[in-house]
């Protein structure tokens, strides 16, 4: 357990360090962060809308999503978080949650107190900058999703999501971009893409028949990455990953 917690925290610090460069002392301080660990079953709120939080949520295991909801009950996922993501970093500056944070699969979360994060941010302004930068990456992803949902058809949108998650999984050392566990149901994928589950299913079938990818038992295997990138119009720039990783995605 301890090692699992630790490895997620390492992934988080790596993630920050890949986009901002942190000193040894700064990394060390971040790695000292600790919080209460809680477990959520799939489709259970980790943070409820309107709730005021005093902690940020580090994903230790599983997967989480941010959900918007409309009057007729339909939902839209606005962010997906994998192991090593600090979902709620922005809650430091905006502690009242606007949306639900929910587990997509059985998920463990470490609740890192704002207090600890603020301490580090005050001691190391460079870390504060790294936090802000991390939030701006999330916003960049959000922009890309808006473009996709607004202007791409179902096939391209689905392909784009798979590309993004592949690159992110690889970045977080949770798999390779051509083979990784995407621990979401087709219903949840539909909520991320602004589609219906039925249409996601049909669209997956199309991609399968094109020989681009396979998705079964929540494992994605990409058979033709190059083609998938073309279908998705995927340009990993928006993920703001280090140059190395970006070159490999082209």
Residues engaged in binding DNA (CB under 7 A): 42-43, 153-155, 185-187, 194-199, 201-205, 216-218
Site membership for a second copy, residue 193 (CB under 8 A): yes
- Cβ distance to a second copy smaller for residue 224 or 233: 233
DSSP class of residue 86 equals B
Which of the residues 210 through 239 are near a second copy (CB under 8 A)? 233, 237-238
Cα distances from 98 to residues 51, 74, 91, 191, in angstroms, run 8, 17, 10, 18
Q: Roughly what angle, to the nearest 10 degrees, separates helices 154-171 and 197-209?
A: 80
Which partner from the list DNA, a second copy, none does 90 bind, CB cut-off 5 to 8 Å by kind? a second copy
Which partner from the list a second copy, DNA, none does 4 bind, CB cut-off 5 to 8 Å by kind? none
Which of the residues 131 through 170 are near a second copy (CB under 8 A)? 131-133, 135-140, 142-147, 149-152
Percentages (nearest 5) of helix, strand, coil residues in the chain: 50, 20, 30
Q: How far is the CB of 31 from a second copy (least distance, A)?
A: 22
Provide the total of helices (H) and of strands (E) in the chain, helices listed first. 9, 10
Which partner from the list DNA, a second copy, none does 136 bind, CB cut-off 5 to 8 Å by kind? a second copy
206: nearest Cα among 228, 187, 188, 226: 228
Q: How far is the CB of 106 from DNA (least distance, A)?
A: 10
d(CA 40, CA 42): 7
- Cβ distance to a second copy smaller for residue 8 or 87: 87
Q: How far is the CB of 88 from DNA (least distance, A)?
A: 24
Q: How far is the CB of 249 from DNA (least distance, A)?
A: 24
Which partner from the list DNA, a second copy, none does 144 bind, CB cut-off 5 to 8 Å by kind? a second copy
User: Do residues 204 and 193 touch, judged by C-beta distance below 8 A?
Assistant: no
DSSP alpha helices (H): ranges in the chain? 2-19, 24-31, 114-123, 125-151, 154-171, 186-193, 197-209, 225-232, 243-249
CA dihedral 216, 73, 53, 108 (to 10 degrees): -20
Q: How far is the CB of 182 from a second copy (least distance, A)?
A: 19
Which of the residues 106 through 135 are near a second copy (CB under 8 A)? 122, 125, 128-129, 131-133, 135
- What the block records as the tokens of 144 is 């890309």
161: nearest Cα among 147, 173, 175, 68: 147
- Cβ distance to a second copy smaller for residue 61 or 85: 85
Q: Which residues bind a second copy (CB under 8 A)?
A: 66, 68-71, 74-76, 78-79, 90, 93-94, 98-99, 122, 125, 128-129, 131-133, 135-140, 142-147, 149-152, 193-194, 233, 237-238, 240
């Amino acid at each position: 357990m301890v090692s699992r917690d630790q490895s997620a925290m390492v992934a988080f610090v790596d993630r920050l360090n890949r986009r901002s460069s942190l000193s040894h002392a700064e990394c060390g301080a971040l790695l000292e962060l600790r919080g209460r660990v809680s477990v959520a079953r799939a489709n259970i709120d980790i943070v409820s809308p309107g709730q005021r939080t005093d902690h940020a949520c580090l994903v230790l295991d599983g997967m989480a999503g941010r959900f918007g909801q409309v009057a007729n009950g339909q939902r839209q996922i606005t962010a997906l978080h994998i192991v090593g993501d600090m979902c709620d970093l922005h809650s430091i500056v905006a502690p009242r949650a606007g949306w639900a944070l929910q587990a997509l699969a059985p998920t463990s979360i470490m609740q890192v107190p704002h207090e600890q994060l603020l301490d580090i941010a005050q001691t190391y302004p460079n870390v504060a900058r790294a936090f802000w930068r991390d939030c701006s990456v999330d916003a960049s992803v959000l922009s890309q999703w808006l473009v996709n949902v607004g202007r791409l058809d179902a096939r391209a949108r689905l392909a784009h999501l798979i590309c993004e998650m592949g690159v992110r999984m690889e970045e977080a050392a949770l798999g390779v971009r051509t083979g990784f566990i995407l621990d979401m149901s087709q219903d949840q994928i539909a909520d991320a893409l602004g589609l219906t589950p039925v249409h996601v299913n049909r669209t997956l079938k199309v991609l399968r028949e094109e020989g681009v990818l396979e998705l079964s038992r929540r494992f994605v295997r990409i058979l033709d990455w190059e083609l998938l990138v073309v279908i998705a119009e995927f340009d990993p720039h928006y993920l703001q990953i280090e140059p190395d990783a970006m070159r490999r995605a082209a």
